[in-house]
Amino acid sequence: MAVVALDPVTIPPQATTAAVVCDKVTVRFTTERGTVTALQDVSIAVPSGSLMTLLGPSGCGKSTLLRVVADLIAPSGGTATVLGGRPSEARKRRDIGFVFQDAALLPWRSALQNVELPLEVGGDGTARRPTRTPMELLELVGLNGWENAFPHELSGGMRQRVSIARALVNEPKLLLMDEPFGALDEITRDRLNEELLRIWEQTSVSILFVTHSIYEAAFLGQEVLMLAANPGRVREIVPIDFVSPRRLALRESADFVQRVAHLRRVLESC
Amino acid sequence: MSAFTIDTEEQARFLQARHYLVWRKRLLPLAAIIGLVFLWWASVRYFGVRPFIAPSPDAVALMLWRRLDVLMANLMPTAIEAVLGFLLGNAAAIATATVFVHRKTLAEAFFPIAVMINTIPVVAKAPILVLLLGNGMEPKIAIAALIVFFPTLVNMVRGLEAVNPQALELMRVLSASKREVFWKLRAHNSLPYLFSALKIAASTAVIGAIVGEWIGSNEGIGALIIQATYAFDTPLLYATIIVGSTFSACFFFIISAIERFVVRWDSSAH
């Protein structure tokens, strides 16, 4: 069987070839009810150009880990290295794209204007000439003809496509996705999964993708990072070695079903 | 492929039904007004109510027609006071809200005071302002400004702060400056909140100006109300009230029209 459980602590931090390296990252939040350890000594390495999915029960700190990498949360302990430097440096260089669960589009801007937003803010936005224009990115996510539509005129799936185009406009080297398809119906989700893989193959972006769908984690990920809750820690890293390009039919294969079954067993023990 | 098919007959029936509903909504209130005016006229007639206690509607209509020059001459100062008070009070409220959002300390120190001043009834504030500002237009403008200030301040602070948290995270990922967050995010976000306050302010500014005129003035809708009451000229009193509220209604509709032009997105959807 190709499924191998790795001891997370033994993964060497390879700053030169890894898009993201987390070394014993710990995050604690203090509230009136006490201190919560959201992440405890999490060490991972996301190879450059790869797609890693994060899977785990609610409260295991998946989103927190993503926010540490994006420099939205400072870790209480340990270090995160993004593209060989500090997360804040990568953020300021516009090397990080973030896709939120709710598309977080600005409702007063058209689809095209939403995609253009990153070019208007943050000072050096204009200094970086993107090779793909916002229009071409809308085309890439399958929204040609919708550029003048406002968010309330778009379906949930279309809004999420716009937000993916927006995250890609600065040509980030790392794309962080926080349950981006969690609120969508299953048919839309399947279609967007396939399209995300197509976009990933067309760009050389590394992706860290948080989900609580086992199928999504197995279908998208080259590796599935499984986290356990209370405190959030690495349970297992499961390599998924299907050949590219993956298509939805893959999910009916015996191999796929077997892997999903394994992920489910691990998840149940988290 | 479109989800819509054209069935001309069905379409015609649908449009006819909608047409009927639209007109029903317009005509029913009009019918109710005509009915009530008739009831008013009939009861004044039937019970033989003396004109200085309650005039019949035709006497009021005649007064509106005959004394239109006097009524308009008195509407002028009230309208100027209301509009200037509206502009001044709302501008001050918007500026204060902007400062409050950026300087939390100031907000925490002064917001309770603002709420306290707001609890003083207008009729109690008016004499104080007349003593402070004299007998001209200034105290009336000040009262109108004061009366619109607080609702706009509260709504504006809410609108500037009730920003989608993921949109705020997005701005952080984009390394947006505070100024950019304000202009690209908060200012737009506050517009629906601002306009609901402005629509209330349109009618309360007129009330403020009229109450100011009650305290000490010999021209304006408020002064005319006092004069007509003491002279037992009840038809003039009613005519004055009609002129005042028609002006209020026009003011409200102008603000609503501007709102429809400015807030084009569906503010209920995120």
Instruction: Provide the shortest C-alpha distance from residue A149 to chain B (in Å).
Output: 10
pLDDT of residue B235: 92
- Alpha-helix runs per DSSP H in A70-208: 87-92, 111-120, 134-140, 156-168, 186-202
* A·B CB contacts under 8 A: 72
**B183 inside 8 A of chain A by CB:** no
Task: Report the C-alpha gap between A267 and B17 in whole angstroms.
Answer: 56
For position B2, what pLDDT does the model report?
54
Global ipTM: 0.86
CB A42 within 8 A of CB A48: no
Return the residue in B169, B175, B178, B194 with the most chain A beta carbons within 10 A, the one to mutate for interface testing. Answer: B175
B262 interface with A at CB cutoff 8 Å: no
| pLDDT greater than 50 at residue A202 | yes
**pLDDT at res. B249:** 95
Report percent pLDDT > 70 for chain A.
Answer: 92
Q: How far is A158 from chain B (nearest CA, A)?
A: 14
| 3-class state of residue A151 by DSSP | helix
pLDDT per position in chain B (270 positions), as tens?
A: 456 777 888 888 999 999 999 999 989 999 999 999 999 999 998 998 888 888 999 999 999 999 999 999 999 999 999 999 999 999 999 999 999 999 989 999 998 888 888 888 888 888 888 888 887 888 899 999 998 999 899 999 999 999 999 999 999 999 999 999 999 999 999 999 999 999 999 999 999 999 989 887 889 999 999 999 999 999 999 999 999 999 999 999 999 999 999 998 866 544
Q: Is A173 within 8 Å of A19 (Cβ atoms)?
A: yes
Question: Which residue among B173, B180, B264 places its CB closest to the CB of A98?
Answer: B173
The model's pTM: 0.83
Which of B172, B263, B265 is facing A72, going by the closest CB pair? B172
Q: How far is B196 from chain A (nearest CA, A)?
A: 17
CB A108 to CB B167 under 8 A? no
The answer to whether B74 and B224 are in contact (CB under 8 A) is yes
* Interface contact B184-A121, CB threshold 8 A: yes
pLDDT of residue A199: 87
Contact B58/A at CB under 8 A: no
Residues 6+ apart with CB under 8 A from A157: A184, A185, A188, A191, A192
Q: What is the CA radius of gyration of chain B?
A: 24
Over residues A254-268, the pLDDT tens digits come to: 888 999 999 999 888
DSSP state of B164: -
**What does the CA dihedral B208, B225, B83, B155 come to, rounded to 10 degrees?**
30
Q: Extract the tokens encoding A27.
A: 């995050």
User: Residue B188: closest CA among chain A residues belongs to which residue?
Assistant: A108
Chain A interface includes B102 (CB < 8 A): no
Q: Is the pLDDT of residue A126 over 80?
A: no
Give a three-class secondary structure readout of chain B: CCCCCCCHHHHHHHHHHHHHHHHHHHHHHHHHHHHHHHHHHHHHHHHCCCCCCCCCHHHHHHHHHHCHHHHHHHHHHHHHHHHHHHHHHHHHHHHHHHHHHHCHHHHHHHHHHHHHHHHCCHHHHHHHHHHHHCCCCHHHHHHHHHHHHHHHHHHHHHHHHCCCHHHHHHHHHCCCCHHHHHHHHHHHHHHHHHHHHHHHHHHHHHHHHHHHHHHCCCCCHHHHHHHHHHCCCHHHHHHHHHHHHHHHHHHHHHHHHHHHHHCCCCCCCC
pLDDT at B267: 60
Taking the CA of residue B102 and the nearest CA in chain A, the distance in Å comes to: 19
Which DSSP symbol is given to B270?
Answer: -
Q: Residue B3: how many CB atoms within 10 A of its CB?
A: 4
* A72: nearest CB among B169, B176, B185: B169
The answer to whether A104 contacts B170, with C-beta atoms less than 8 Å apart, is yes
Asked if B162 is an interface residue toward chain A (Cβ–Cβ < 8 A), one would say no
* Cα of B46 to nearest chain A Cα, Å: 57
Q: Are B221 and B251 in contact (CB under 8 A)?
A: no
- Determine the pLDDT at residue B1: 43
Q: For tokens 């689809």, what's the residue?
A: A111
Residue of A nearest to B262 (CA): A108
Residues B119, B204 contacting (CB under 8 angstroms)? no
CB-CB contact of B96 with B115 (8 Å): no
Which pLDDT score, from 0 to 100, does residue A210 have? 95
* Nearest chain B Cα distance for residue A106, angstroms: 8
d(CA B117, CA A40): 51
Contact residues on chain A for B177, CB-CB shorter than 8 A:
121-123
Angle, CA A83 vertex, CA A53 and CA A215 arms, to 5°? 5
Average confidence score pLDDT of chain A: 87
Contact B167 A104 (CB under 8 A): yes
Residue to mutate among A94, A101, A121, A166, with most B CBs inside 10 A, is A121
More confident residue, B73 or A251: B73
pLDDT of residue B3: 64
The pLDDT value recorded for residue B136 is: 85
> How much is the pLDDT for A244?
76
> Which among B175, B263, B266 has CB closest to A122?
B175
Beta strand residue intervals within A32-150, DSSP E: 34-47, 51-55, 77-82, 96-99
What local confidence, expressed as pLDDT, does residue B129 receive?
Answer: 83
pLDDT-derived band at A87 (thresholds 50, 70, 90) equals: very high
Give me the residue from B171, B267, B270 closest to A121, CB to CB.
B171
Quick one: pLDDT band at residue A127, thresholds 50, 70, 90? low
Where residue A7 falls among pLDDT bands split at 50, 70, 90?
A: very low
Residue B166: which of A94, A104, A121 has the nearest Cβ? A104
